[in-house]
Structure 1
Amino acid sequence: MTPAFADALDHRFQDPGLLARALTHRSHVKGRKGGLESNERLEFVGDRVLGLLIAEWLVERFPEEREGGLGRRLARLVDRDTLAAVARAIGLGAALAIPPSEEAAGVRERDSVLADACEALIGALYLDGGLEAARRFVRRHWAGLLERMAEAPRDPKTALQEWAQARGLPLPAYRTVATEGPSHRPRFTVAVSLGDSAAEAQGTTKREAEKRAAARLLAQLEARR
């Protein structure tokens, strides 16, 4: 663990094993104890803790905003892209325990792996130091992201639909291109088309993949203006 990464945590672990587990990708313990020594269980905890802490912060930061706006802000701040961006900013990928075979496949830099590890890290901080330790980490590394949200983000599918309607175009069409992975951790690839333009994206649910594809297509369309 580099000094920079240790500083990013702002916490001295009473149980170093929790941190070690948070940094252990499931491929590193494949076939051992059913994978229970990986970071998946901590990811489960961290997901809930992050949601709570961000919700708490949003209610404090935006006292006049209604539930819908708060919900859209929350969804953006806890999504995979945000988690992966935070993970990269603190050098989390370099600290992960990953076997050489997976290293060669580029697993260490995958958004999904980084996002899961970031959630696991938050779970470890919570279990070791309580909500305050997790809160310090979240408020430190999400502060810039939250402050840049002058307005609550719109749902990408809604935004794309409104873009099409404003120009008299037919509604966007979504199509599931592929479904991969085990049943407990599927990956969906969805394509969206609007007129002669199209985009694809992946997600752990069809809805997530559709939203990512819509956001990607909308960005392409607006870039042409």
Structure 2
Amino acid sequence: MSRLDIKADARRTFEICKSGGIAIFPVDVGYTMISGSREGLKKIFNAKQRGGHKRNALICDMETQRELQVLDKRGQEMIEVITQDYNLPLGPIATYRTDHPLMKKIDPNALAASTAGGTLAMLVNAGPFHAEITKLSREEVHPLFGSSANLTGTGTKFRVEDIQDELTSIADVIIDYGLRKYHMYRRSATLINFETMQVVRMGVCYEQISDILRRHYKIELPPDQSVDLNPSGHTNEFGLPIVNN
């Protein structure tokens, strides 16, 4: 087998998504299913059998995250420490700039399916393919939204062969890079609202992220109940109102 051509694969995938198609491709936290159009996102939503409260996430690089999410200095610094100093993947949630060029490119229906309460979830720092395709998204000002490549409630898929036929059959391109880096977690990315410090999902590297926030910022996140007791890791769904216990 020859070496991976990440640049070429990312370019091919991006062009398909940009033209309204659907892609399945590898990130460090599993395989993801993405589109760059309202029609593509709706098709993914229906195929995954998602509930109406479910929201898409924007895949983007840190440059876009810094421009798009509205956070105070401390909140932004926490994201930087986790993703840049410790090089961990993360799903930050925060208020976003509605006037950002990427947001202006989004169809209103697609935007409604991808935001909740004025906040936007992202996936950042999720590996080489993610870095390349999000760079293209930023440079060409075309947003890419999606979610894990799995039927709702069946868990993150870390190999292409584990993705259900209902999803692979609607994909216009599938990039198979084999078993993903963080497969041992059996969950997708950790999701945290960095305005409220509400944990939405305990996912990949959650213990490390908790330790970082404890040591650097004296923030105590709730303990993980374990993947056996809480397979998805969700404590609150992104699209649902946050409940303070």
TM-score, normalization: structure 2?
0.26
Give the structure with the larger strand fraction. 2
Q: Which has the higher helix share?
A: 1
- Could you state the TM-score of these two structures normalised by the residue count of structure 1? 0.28
- Higher Rg: 1
